[in-house]
Structures are given as structure tokens and as C-alpha cells.
Chains A and B, each alone.
Chain A
């Protein structure tokens, strides 16, 4: 069964340059992406990479330098923010301090001139949805951070936007609350069916919540894909390093093609796909996740690899293997915790499909 996907947002060749009297900042360079209706889409990248900029361009708070943005096939670049059927959950919540929770949430509906009974119904409905019904008469400064977060969410949801933009909405919360809110946000998105564009610099958040992720670095989109895709086959070193832990091992190519062969500088050979532009004896970087590497006991005369660090984590351990040239990180599963200790000589194996040549 394939459903025809509806394009909620299309970002086409978007470039944004901030100009001030003496400097120019290229916050986005030729960005292209399509966000589908009903999708939980995440913009992920380190701080300063241009995530907020892209969100603000969609909301209409910044003028676009080049390119265009479509919202449900309608060009919106020339619409002011108050004419765009999208709403934003701001990073600092930005609740109106002089209005109580109810009035904050009803704000958008009132501006849209909805009649009083409908406004009341909808406001109470979303307050219920975020479990803040009992706080309707409180002022924002009488709420905790998590509660303000919920009100900000309710306020943005109340006018039933076609797309909800969320700029690092969880970053100001403490860890426990943040984790609980992840789940809630995801559920909320599924229940309401509203397209979420979610900004975060936290890769764990992105992986656990998103339908698809766009990884951004220095204003350029690095990769767009589902969480598994991005985690398991990152398209370049930046993505590999930014998401999860990665070993990037140096070696050279022996044969290329579908059933290629590379040799690491540690002497290990790996069978994997090697793109045809890589020729024999070319230097390659091979990417493999620490948890995919298998280690087995060995001895000093058979292997140059020894455990140089052993970090106990309770339910697992991370170990660092050192050979004369390279460091390899390996995650040790719980059943192997007692088997290995620091200083042991070991050998490693790469299960089929676990490694990948990376640019």
C-alpha cells in the first residue's frame, strides 16, 4: 500500500544572508527539502548551523535572500507572518506575561475573529490536550518551566495551524521532564495529525521522535532521511560523527564494486561495497558503529590490538582498543563485561553489512 504523499512545505534553493554594516553571515546555503503532510520532521544540527533561521523563514520573521518556500503548493514568501497558517512554539516560550493561561491560548482564535463559544470550546479543548485545564486562570509567571512549555504548545495548537514549528522546545527543561515531553509531543503529533517541524541540536531527541530528519551543518543540508537511515548509513563524516558514536578508520582499497575489499591499517580486511570511483590502493575511510564490532580473545603474539581503556557503564561498557596507529571504540554487551579487562589482547571482527566506505 502506498499513500500519495502531500507536500506540506517545500523549501527550494533557499539562501539566507544576514547583512549588517560590516559583516555578512551566510546562515543557509541553497537549502532544498520537502516536508510531507502529517510528518514529524526534524531539523538537526549543531548550534549556529542555521536551524532557527530556516524555521523563521518558514514562519515569515525573516526576509528570504534567495529561493522560495511553498506551503501546500502555495508560495508564501511574500506573505507576512500573520497571514501564514503556521504557528510557532518559541524556544523561550514567549508567553504574554499580562494575560492568563486561558487568554494566552485563546489569543490566536480571537485574532482570527472566531466567535466566543467556539473560542471557548477550542481553548478548553487544547488546554485539556496538554493537561493544563486546571491552570486556566494562572499568569505565566505562576507556572513552572514545564507548564509554560505546555501552554506555549497549546497556544500554538489552538488556531489549528497547518504546520506547527517548534524551535528547541525542550531545551530549557530538565532531563526527566525533557524525556517525558518527547513522548508526549510525539503522541500529540500523531493524534492531531498536524505537520510538526521540530528543531533540535540533540541527536537522541531527533532519533526518538522524528519520522524524518534533515541534518544541517554550517548552513548546508547534509542528509535527509528516516532515523534508521541516518544512523546506519550516514552520507558523510559529519553526519556519522554528529549522530551517535562512530569509528572512522583509515585503510586502502584492494578491489572495488559490490563485493569490494578494503584493508585497514591495523591489518584487518573488510568485505564491503566500494564505490567504483575508488580505485585499487586509494586511501579510504571506513565507518562502523562501536556496537557493531565483535571482539574475541586473542594473545600478544597473534594480535597488536589491546584494550587501552575500559569504561564501565553498569548495563554495558565502552572500551578503547589501541593498535600502534589507530584507536577503535567498541561497545561491550553486558554478557561480555566479565570476559574482558583492561590490557587484554583481543581481535576484532566486522559482521557483514556493518561497515561502510564514507566520504
Chain B
């Protein structure tokens, strides 16, 4: 029995070998490269000097001034904070839209459900950059929104709603980009839900709102948490929506990193910021896992 069991685990490890190789090459590999780059010296012509240095990391918090003195520089911390807030708000808005959407889809007949889920995934078929450009046409000066306001006489020709290049524009872009990642996991957990539980709750005098609050919401919690992570993490590092819709006026983490690798040619600093971002994400995940466990312990004690 025991030996067989061991064999089984061994078999499983071997049979997953191709997967490990793929994960290793395509996920761990680039990360390692990034980690190494973050520990090198920058090279103004692009690439790096292969010489160990912590300057990339130091730059996050400290600056060298004209007199070659090192002084504290909060500029990047502010950017990090702003990115965090924006990602948080974007996640929250996605949840507010995504939960009812997933609920609505899950209540449809099988045929309609499949069509709606298909529609939810359609945006993934075109490039994110192109889709974000479309929002410029919608939000921009003389764009779809402003011209319809003009049409109904709510806005005269000369003035503008100034929708573009604001935090709201960035949020719209972020929510638009990552909303499907919120809808799909919530929908999946709602699909798994035993519909007879809803009947049982109705039988026990629940109205529609209590049904959602007391049964559907708690039972789709795994989907909500999963969706929130799937939205929050890419929002934190996003640069397309912030650059195009926010006009790069207020720098965000993603744009900052992207900028270091392109125009600024400070790869180690960009890599160090990326590693820092990674650390933040891991922290969020750990925090979330803890929260989950606490929640479960509390629930089973109560």
C-alpha cells in the first residue's frame, strides 16, 4: 500500500515534468533574468554592465543630488501608493459590476449562458492596445460622448468635458480591460452552487435580497477573491491604460517600469521596481491567504 502510494506520487511528479519544464522556462526563467538584471549596474546605451550593484534598489527610495550626496526621495513611493490606490479602486469597481453580471449570467438558460460567457471573453480576441485606443475615441475631445452631449444641446461646441487624462479615465480603462477576469471566476463559483440551496433559502422565508446576501454572496466568495486577485495584480502593473488614457501625466508603477526599459535605459532600476512590485503582490496574496484561513477558522468556531 505504502510503496504503491509513493510510486503514485513519483509517477505524478514525472508525468508533470513537461509542465514543470514549460513553467520553468517561460515563467521562472524571465523572473530570474529580471532578478539578476536588478542587481547590475545600468548602462546608458541600453542593457547592463555585468557588475554587481544595489543601485537599482537604492534608487527606489534615495536619490543622488548634485553634490553626490544621497538623500531620501519619496517620489517613487508616492507613485507606488497612487498605483496601489488606483488598482484597489479599479478592483472594487470591477467587483461592483462583475458580481451582478455574473449573477445575471448564471440565472439564464444554458443556451443564453453560453452565448453571454462567449461575449464576455470576446474582448480578449483583440489587442489590449487597440481596445484602449478605442476609449480615446469615446472619451476624447469631440469623441463619442462629447459629440452626443453636443447633439442633445447639453454642451456647447467650444467647451469640453475634459474626460481624458484623468484618474477616472484610467479607471475606466482598467475596469474595462480586466472586468472579464472578475466575471469569469465569480460566474464559475456561482455555476457550481447547488441551486437547491436557493430553493431551501426561499422556502425558509428569504426574499430576493436576503437570498443574495445570505446564500449567493458567501458561496461565491472563492470566485470573488480569485477574481479580485486576477484584476488587482495586473492593474497594479498596468501601463497601457495609464499612458493612453491618463496621458502619463501622473506616473504609475507600470508606466514607470516600462519607461525605465525604454526611454530611460535604466534596466536595473526598472528590474528592481519590478521585483518590488512582485514582492508587493506576494504580500497581498499572503495577506489574503491569512484572511481566508482566519475567516474559515472563525466560521467553524462560531
Contact = CB atoms under 8 A, between A and B. Distances in A.
A80 B200 contact: no
Interface in A155-176: 155-156, 159
B296 to A, nearest CB: 10
A220 to B, nearest CB: 26
A296 interface: no
A40 interface: no
A68 B301 CA distance: 46
B298 to A, nearest CB: 11
Interface string B201-230: 111111100100011001100000000000
Contacts, number: 64
Contacts of A178: none
Nearest to B199: A61
B12 interface: no
Given A98-B299, A100-B302, A87 B203 contact: yes
Given A96-B201, A97-B219, A111 B206 contact: yes
B197 A81 contact: no
Interface string A70-83: 00000000001110
B204 A137 contact: no
Interface centre among B203, B214, B218 (most CB of A within 10 A): B203
A180 B287 CA distance: 49
Contacts of A98: 218-219, 299
Interface residues of B, number: 21
Given A97-B219, A111-B210, A82 B205 contact: yes
A6 to B, nearest CB: 23
Contacts of A112: 205
B205 A108 contact: yes
A112 B203 CA distance: 12
A107 B206 CA distance: 9
B6 interface: no
A165 B152 CA distance: 59
A59 B200 CA distance: 10
A87 B194 CA distance: 19
Interface centre among A59, A97, A98, A159 (most CB of B within 10 A): A98
Interface centre among B204, B210, B299 (most CB of A within 10 A): B204
Contacts of A159: 204-205
B301 A94 contact: no
Contacts of B300: 100, 137, 139
B51 interface: no
B225 to A, nearest CB: 14
Contacts of A108: 204-205
Contacts of B196: 90, 92, 94
B205 A137 contact: no
B210 A96 contact: no
A329 interface: no
Contact of B202 (A82, A92, A103): A82
A94 B200 contact: yes
Contacts of B299: 98, 100, 139
A107 B201 contact: yes
A80 B197 CA distance: 16
A148 interface: no
Interface string B252-286: 00000000000000000000000000000000000
Chain A contact patch, size range: 20 to 34
Nearest to A103: B302
Contacts of A82: 202-207
Nearest to A152: B200
Interface string A117-142: 00000000000000000000101000
A92 B202 CA distance: 16
B205 A96 contact: no
Contacts of A96: 197, 200-201, 215
Contacts of B207: 82, 111
Nearest to B302: A100
A331 interface: no
B202 A81 contact: yes
Nearest to B193: A97
A96 B193 CA distance: 11
A168 B241 CA distance: 57
Given A96-B215, A137-B301, A88 B200 contact: yes
B199 A137 contact: no
B1 to A, nearest CB: 26
Contacts of B215: 96
Contact of B194 (A94, A103, A155): A94
Given A92-B196, A96-B215, A80 B302 contact: no
A139 B297 CA distance: 12
B210 A88 contact: no
Nearest to A80: B202
Contacts of B202: 61, 80-82
Contact of A90 (B200, B218, B219, B301): B200
Interface centre among A88, A96, A137, A156 (most CB of B within 10 A): A96
B260 to A, nearest CB: 46
Contacts of B214: 107
Nearest to B299: A98
B228 to A, nearest CB: 18
Contacts of B200: 88, 90, 94-96
Given A94-B199, A96-B215, A97-B219, A155 B204 contact: yes
Interface of B: 194, 196-197, 199-207, 210, 214-215, 218-219, 299-302
The 10 A-B pairs of least Cβ separation, nearest first, read A108-B204, A111-B205, A94-B200, A94-B196, A81-B202, A98-B218, A82-B205, A88-B203, A82-B202, A107-B204
Given A88-B200, A94-B196, 10 more contacts: A81-B202, A82-B206, A88-B203, A94-B197, A96-B200, A98-B299, A111-B207, A111-B210, A137-B301, A139-B300
5 contacts: A94-B194, A96-B200, A100-B302, A139-B299, A156-B203
